[in-house]
Amino acid sequence: MLQRPRRNRKSAAIREMVEETTLTTKDFIFPLFLLEGTKKSVPVDSMPGINRLSLDNMLKEIEECLNLGVKVFDIFPVVDEKYKDKTGTASYDENFFYLKALTEIKKKFPEACIMTDVALDPYSVDGHDGIVDDNGVILNDETLDVLAQMAVAQAETGIDIIGPSDMMDGRVAEIREALDESGFTNTSIMSYTAKYASAFYGPFRDALDSAPKSGDKKTYQMNPANKREALIEAEQDELEGADMLMVKPAMTYLDVIHLIREKTELPVTAYNVSGEYAMIKAAAQKGWLDNDRVILETLLSIKRAGADAILTYFAKEAAQLLKK
């Protein structure tokens, strides 16, 4: 036998020497859920270990994460029903608690990279990412204007990256133009490029109480059956000025991550979503899976598929595991 692949696996030192992919804490983006008020920490039942936090507690959490080497955070607001309307006007009201909190966070931790989410769903009485008309149709072009206003309002707080997660056509160009016109030429856009109409977002919608009141998101989020279509989205987002392209979810879409990585020179990110987190945590709690090893293997696999960075609720825990 001339080829004995096992020779390259015979010791930890050799295995490490020939390792093709290395997972590091620098790869992680940590999504956080912000609550209005103070001294609040409310667990998300379907995401063991994850809490919705008021600003004071979130500042502590960010500080702990920074000390572990996690430097990028994606912050989502939990919006009370009383602020919701048909067109998400709260999203660009400068007195809205989310925008004020973002300003505070950037003031306290200028070295942290803060990302925000642009879509109507947390602010909408309909729970959809776009404006819904009387017949239940999601209006594309009418929504773009709100998304642009929301993005500019978020940029004004000093945050670093805008994350359009709404999947309306043409929104990256609209947001880029609005940001530039308002002087925010330095604010980045990480576009949710290939975002699928997935059942894995369930726990996130529990956390934010943002599930659609009627219908589903299939007229704007992508059909899980499609791969080539992801390339159309990627090409559009790139032409429209996106700085980074995201695939979402991650574990069940590794082929799409790989494909987009091959086709673009831009950084590619993957969102290891709430349902993927819940699944692993539930099995680990039952003692059916080894929590620590499964987390690291999952994140490593997403990176091996081609992701340059990973949005993951495991960010803090994985950073602690990598430190060991």
In the complex, what is the shortest distance from the CB of residue 234 to ligand PBG, in angstroms, rounded to a whole number? 19
DSSP 281-306: HHHHHTTSS-HHHHHHHHHHHHHHHT
In the complex, what is the shortest distance from the CB of residue 161 to ligand PBG, in angstroms, rounded to a whole number? 14
Question: Which residue stretch of 32-40, 98-106, 115-123, 226-234 sits at the interface with ligand PBG (rule: CB under 6 A)?
Answer: 115-123
C-alpha distances out from residue 122 to 80, 185, 285, Å: 9, 26, 30
- Indicate whether 119 belongs to the interface with ligand PBG (CB under 6 A): yes
Which contiguous run of DSSP H or E holds residue 118?
strand 113-118
The CA-based angle 38-208-298, given to 5 degrees, is 110
**Between residue 129 and residue 168, which ones bind ligand PBG under the rule CB under 6 A?**
129, 165-166
x/- letters, 204..243, toward ligand PBG (CB under 6 A): xx-----------x--------------------------
Catalytic, 263? Answer no
Pairing of strands 244-248, 188-195: parallel
**Between residue 260 and residue 289, which ones bind ligand PBG under the rule CB under 6 A?**
273-274
C-alpha distances out from residue 245 to 172, 272, 286, Å: 11, 14, 36
The two tokens of residue 63 are: 């500080």
Cis amide bond preceding 43, omega within 30: no
Catalytic, 60? Answer no
In the complex, what is the shortest distance from the CB of residue 231 to ligand PBG, in angstroms, rounded to a whole number? 21
Compare residues 47 and 259 and give the one whose CB is closer to ligand PBG: 47
Place of tokens 């609040």: 40
Annotated catalytic residue, options 84, 217, 248, 316: 248
- Indicate whether 126 belongs to the interface with ligand PBG (CB under 6 A): no
Write out the catalytic residue numbers.
195, 248
Interface contacts to ligand PBG, rule CB under 6 A: 117, 119, 121, 129, 165-166, 201, 204-205, 217, 273-274
